[in-house]
Structure 1
Amino acid sequence: MTDSTPSAAEDLAERVRAGELRFHELEDHTDADTATAARRLLVEEQSDASLDVVGDYGFPAERADPNIENMVGAVQVPMGVAGPVRIRGGRLDGERYLPLATTEGALLASVNRGCSVLNDAGGANVRILKSGMTRAPVFRVADVVEAEALVEWVRDNRDALREAAEETTNHGELLDVTPYVVGNSVHLRFRYDTKDAMGMNMVTIATRAACELVEDETDASLVALSGNLCTDKKPAAINAVEGRGRSVTTDVTIPREVVEDRLHTTPEAVAELNTRKNLVGSAKAASLGFNAHVANVVAAMFLATGQDEAQVVEGANAITTAEVQDGDLYVSISIASLEVGTVGGGTKLPTQAEGLDVLGVRGGGDPAGSNADALAEAIAVGSLAGELSLLSALASRHLSSAHAELGR
């Protein structure tokens, strides 16, 4: 943390108390660390809390300026690694440590066990099967006749929409626009290739330009730039079916002797458990995620690599399958909507950038988009390791004893 003198921070805090400055204006009058210290003094005074540990952060506060407002410090989440695990991906090929940041005891141990078993099986296959970040504005029309006219206009003017959208970005490409009509509301779901960026800001700005063209050329009126058919940070069947961000699938075939010796169960037991728990149980619960705990690994790797943590909602939209093949255990995970990037957003924060460095995927890839693809592949393989370990612990009835042994 850059040093800021107590007197300078106190003087700034006093100006806020006197009504001369607003809480959010402090960076306009001093450096970011002094503003953060002054704000911390004011919060401690109002709440009677001590923020000494929150204030002991390890990078200049100005580095976080694009990521947060009203900064008072930083919350430190413990980070560990699982692996190294052998990944046989389309973009990531070789052994990698997986960085995970979490406060859940036993998670790293479980994923690490799964990684070891994946290695014994020769590693995990993983591929990106679809890619595209979406934004879906909603328009008002007079009636269904105008709705049909708008749908036809969109289909006839895709090149014009693409040109308008892509004028706003040096990297994004508009892939397609899909209309959805509900009465006199028309949602247009724009899908973009955002390369190595997760891309929400990129596609929002690009879609705004395309919407201006729609309003200029049709009778439709834009109601909202996001009409919730995108769908961002909410459980949604459309993401499970159509995908959003990266759609990625990983699988492995584990020899029977490895299952029996390392996981202390059988392929038949794991396959039956997966069917009754992840498939039947999830269906009965009307869940959108048919898995055991994919969200655990997605969340931990998101935090470790600077991803938008709220998008774990979509990242947990995964289906785990397991079956016996010629006496061995086949397991797969298909994650429909994994929204990740290696440039922009939280990836520029120093600690999160180091997490990306562990995987060797920081910044833009060559070709463009390859680093974000590789990150998605690593998260999927980590999720496979976590599923394999938990399912085996349940099948062997060792879950509670493992937590008891670790004291968590």
Structure 2
Amino acid sequence: MTDVDVDDLADSVREGELRLHELEEHADADVATAARRLLVSEQSGADLETIGSYGFPAEAAGPNVENMLGAVQVPIGVAGPVRIRGGALDDERYLPLATTEGALVASVNRGCSVLDAAGGASARVTKSGMTRAPVFKVEDVVEAEALAEWVRDNVDELADAAESTTSHGELLDVTPYVVGDNVYLRFRYDTKDAMGMNMATIATGEACDLIESETGASLVALSGNLCTDKKPAAVNAIEGRGRTVTADAIIPRDVVESRLHTTPEAIAEINTRKNLVGSAKAGSLGFNAHVANVVASMFLATGQDEAQVVEGANAITTARTRGDPGDADLYVSVSLASLEVGTVGGGTKLPTQSEALSLLGVAGGGDPPGTNADALAEAIAVGALAGELSLLAALASRHLSSAHAELGR
């Protein structure tokens, strides 16, 4: 690659010799990004100076974005520290939250302080597996049943084919679903510390080749939407996707009254009437107050696939009193059915996101493999629990609007 300056590179595009996506082939990534920014600024009339001010080499973002102009900077704050008593993470941690929503970090921070005053929160990953579900075309239901039976009889052969494409992934199971002359096969993988969507896709493609060679079925699409990726889906709420994780805590009555200025009974009633009954009436797949807020902000901070907030917010919050009436403590939990997270690959390799993962103590691969991604899932679940507790208490004490007004939001 020869040395070339920004203006010369931009001239090559103006003269039709190069296209925007070809610039990195003729200059280093920062020069290509600057030339592209110059051309787009000229065409749009927009001042892109701030977008062009970023704190990492453009080359680092090469696997994550095309036609790079620069970077969008989202403010990042921390909540905590909060004690997380997890299966993979048992320690106090600050939680990084990247957001533009005022009062969010303050609210989660309040919830973390309450959890800490109660001795912390427990968290466990109860199920794990990334899915990909291709759809096959068959002649009729007889052939559909035959395909489903063949799959059930040949799981080991399918595993050999799928796992030949990866040194880390492991096929856990394949579940057939028949709809007329369509057969959907939901492959589920243990992808260790990777979120694993690419791994699962490549592995499933290899398994599909085996199916077509050994049966009369014809592959229509490598993804048949029964996976289900980046869309609201009951199958994820029921069967899970990525990590299924729950966080819970018992908050003593005196802590609820002194820190949250309400009672366990009031929080439990609001949760039932709002998060459970209200969500059911709305036909919601998420029975919670604002789990998406914490999932989205921690996803952005740690380099997760932000579109998968759709599944990550698929959560149920429960709250009830424990003990004698009038002297009861508060039990509160959040169960996230399909939290798709990883600590290796994708956006986790970007410098700022890697630092946020280091802040949590979960950057890179875990020992044993998979434990860092489990720990990240536990941290997000505890953050969601803190956010739910704080918002429910604000509603119970009728402080929600005054809190936003006080913080100028």
TM-score for the superposition, normalised by structure 1: 0.98
**Residues 340-385 of structure 1, C-alpha deviation per residue, up to 9 Å, x if partnerless?**
0000000000000000000000000000000000000000000000
CA distance in 1, matches of 2:176, 2:145: 10
Counterpart for residue 259 of structure 1 = 256
Counterpart for residue 5 of structure 2 = 8
AA in 2 matched with 1:378: A
**Residues 305-346 of structure 1, C-alpha deviation per residue, up to 9 Å, x if partnerless?**
000000000000000000000100000000000000000000
CA distance in 1, matches of 2:148, 2:200: 21
Is 1:50 matched up with 2:41? no
Counterpart for residue 142 of structure 1 = 139
Deviation for aligned residue 1:111: 0.3
Secondary structure of the 2:5 match is helix
Q: Which residue of 293, 296, 301 maps to 1:299?
A: 296
CA distance in 1, matches of 2:20, 2:94: 42
Is 1:313 matched up with 2:310? yes
1:6-405 to 2 correspondence within 5 Å? 8-326=5-323, 327-405=328-406
CA distance in 1, matches of 2:145, 2:408: 62
Mark the runs of 5 or more structure 2 residues left unpaired by the alignment: none
CA distance in 1, matches of 2:115, 2:331: 11
CA distance in 2, matches of 1:407, 1:279: 31
AA in 2 matched with 1:226: S
CA distance in 2, matches of 1:194, 1:317: 21
CA distance in 2, matches of 1:198, 1:129: 16
Which portions of structure 1, spanning 4 or more consecutive aligned residues, are displaced by more than 4 angstroms? none
CA distance in 2, matches of 1:87, 1:294: 18
Secondary structure of the 1:401 match is helix
CA distance in 1, matches of 2:92, 2:153: 48
CA distance in 1, matches of 2:148, 2:304: 35
Deviation for aligned residue 1:406: 0.4
Secondary structure of the 1:355 match is helix
Secondary structure of the 1:147 match is helix
Secondary structure of the 1:21 match is coil
**Residues 224-258 of structure 1, C-alpha deviation per residue, up to 9 Å, x if partnerless?**
00000000000000000000000001100000111
Deviation for aligned residue 1:91: 0.4
**Residues 29-48 of structure 1, C-alpha deviation per residue, up to 9 Å, x if partnerless?**
00000000000011001100
AA in 1 matched with 2:248: D
Identity %: 80
**Residues 176-195 of structure 1, C-alpha deviation per residue, up to 9 Å, x if partnerless?**
00000000000000000000
Secondary structure of the 1:39 match is helix
Deviation for aligned residue 1:96: 0.2
Deviation for aligned residue 1:87: 0.5
Secondary structure of the 1:366 match is coil
CA distance in 1, matches of 2:355, 2:98: 12
AA in 1 matched with 2:349: K
CA distance in 1, matches of 2:239, 2:90: 27
AA in 1 matched with 2:18: L
Mark the runs of 5 or more structure 1 residues left unpaired by the alignment: none
CA distance in 1, matches of 2:231, 2:215: 31
AA in 2 matched with 1:204: T
Secondary structure of the 1:26 match is helix
Secondary structure of the 1:233 match is coil
Secondary structure of the 2:188 match is strand
Deviation for aligned residue 1:10: 1.2
Deviation for aligned residue 1:8: 1.1
**Residues 193-226 of structure 1, C-alpha deviation per residue, up to 9 Å, x if partnerless?**
0000000000000000000000000000000000
CA distance in 1, matches of 2:7, 2:146: 63
Secondary structure of the 1:336 match is strand
CA distance in 2, matches of 1:254, 1:81: 22
AA in 2 matched with 1:218: T
Deviation for aligned residue 1:290: 0.1
CA distance in 2, matches of 1:58, 1:398: 39
Secondary structure of the 2:150 match is helix
